[in-house]
Amino acid sequence: MKRRYFFLLLLLLIIAALLIWFFCRGRNDVAGIIPEDARAVAALDVKELSQATGLAVDKLCSKLGVAEVGQSGLNLSAPVYGFVSRQGHFGIALSVKSKRRVKKALQQIGTDVESQRGLQWAMVKSWIFAFDSDRLLVMGPASSSEVGSLRGQMTALMNQKKVSSPTLNDLNKRSGTLKLISRMDVMPKTYVQMLKKWLPAGIDFNSVSAFAALDAQKKSFTLHTELLSEDKQVLNSFAQIDSLLRPIQGSLLDQGHSSPVLWVTAGLKGDRLLTLLRQNSTIRTQLIALNMCVDADMMLRSIDGDVSLSVPSISLGFKLPSALLTAKLSNKDFLHNVDSWKTGLATDAGVRFRVLRDNDFHLSAGNVNAFFGVRGDQLYITSDARLAEQACRPVSTPSLQGLLPQMKNQVFFATFDASAFMKSLGLLAQLLSSDSSIMKAVNAIERINLSASNSHDISLEVQCNRDLADFITP
């Protein structure tokens, strides 16, 4: 009988422990500090960064010059969170390993630490520190008149039992060693002004957010950005641009130079591209002028599929580099009007049009030269006679072929051969890199890739010829 009561009591104790754990499980979670109405939230997974770079957390901190942080009682193996509150204050939330060490570290830099409201408090310049045995919260900057109210907010954040921040929840669904979601009204004004140029007028930018994530691999890192919104105007703008894009097929990988410094490709629907271009008054005027020489509108409409731009080399001069544009065609109807190009209205203004051979043409006006034509089912355009001869003739491009898997499911892809560009600078590159740590890092960059899966989802990858750990100097 006693044994039965013993097991019953033990079961009740286990249930009670589980209930306590259930209701308090988020208490020591650093993310539990994030305000529900945060305008921006960021997270850094130091442990994941350590694994990616091949450096232990303590060595990583040492390389970054913050070795003392790892010895100040903070648990840098746990994720670090940052946020912007509704009032515009910045906050950083970290995990604490030793409250005593945190207090000692603050005192060693001449900062007084006091106990109040169940927390330890300190003030470093205009930044307020609040911590307990589990977490540390830093917020600021705060003016003298804001200190009292900000301390009240920090107390509430340190003691809140449940977090339902939409921004934090959205961030947790996404991957990234360092990741951020921010409302546009928190982002730098220059960035917002740039977006305003291609988003519809009158949009409430409080309804638009930006997501950014940085992922590190052993010899490369990738920056991913995406615009997020539920605003119908914004979504319609995205849909309009996406309607002219199509997945890259990789059919033009062997076009142009065998090892270009810059190579760009995109999947396009020409008829929809033309409609979008005509909405810009400057471009519309240029198209009207071009149509006086050749049937530019018909050419654009005939494009359906991959379009590529190959740039063999780039110099430091101000002269535009030679480039070859190639595009897949759905039809060649514009060739029926070649005879009319010879006597077009533009000829009266000094524009000269010549037929070089079947379906190969040359257009010149002053210092402007354009070689263009059709070979097979491809259109080519270039300002260089040598590139015109090579156009639409397959060449071996091993460096580009290796990038084909990265183009899968993308609508835009650009690759810059940084190592080839630096080699082309010759002695100048050597002089620049001899005494500059920045140039040494630049020399270690092998290739830069820019890709987009749609109009508002873009990634930048930097590939290096050395481990990322080598870049981080004490």
What pLDDT does 429 receive? Answer: 55
Q: What angle do CA 200, 277, 280 make, to 5 degrees?
A: 55
Distance of CA 25 to the CA centre of its chain: 35
From first to last of its 474 residues, what are the pLDDT tens digits of the chain?
A: 445 544 455 544 454 444 444 344 444 488 889 999 899 999 998 878 777 766 666 655 555 444 455 567 888 788 899 999 988 899 999 999 889 988 988 888 888 999 987 899 999 999 999 999 999 999 999 888 889 999 999 999 999 877 678 888 889 889 888 999 998 878 777 777 777 766 666 677 777 889 999 998 888 889 999 988 888 888 888 888 899 899 999 888 888 777 889 999 999 999 988 888 887 788 888 888 788 788 889 999 999 999 999 998 887 665 778 899 999 999 999 999 888 887 765 565 667 888 898 899 998 877 778 899 999 999 999 989 899 988 888 888 887 888 888 898 899 999 999 888 877 766 555 555 555 666 667 778 889 999 999 988 999 999 988 887 776 554
- For residue 63, count CB atoms less than 10 angstroms from its CB and return exposed for 0-12, middle for 13-18, buried for 19 or more: middle
| d(C-alpha 43, C-alpha 53), whole Å | 18
The tally of CA atoms less than 13 A away on the side-chain side of residue 435 is: 1
Alpha helix stretches (DSSP H) within 54-115: 57-63, 67-70, 99-108
Query: Residue 115's pLDDT is what?
Result: 92
Model confidence, pTM: 0.81
Note the Cα 428 to chain centre separation in Å: 31
d(C-alpha 4, C-alpha 9), whole Å: 9
Q: Break the chain into its structural domains and give their ranges.
A: 27-51+62-169, 174-245+417-471, 262-401
At 28 the pLDDT is 47
Give the span between the Cα atoms of 323 and 384, in whole angstroms. 7
SS3 128: strand
Nearest residue to 248 via CA among 449, 461, 462: 449
CATH, domain range 27-51+62-169: 3.40.1000
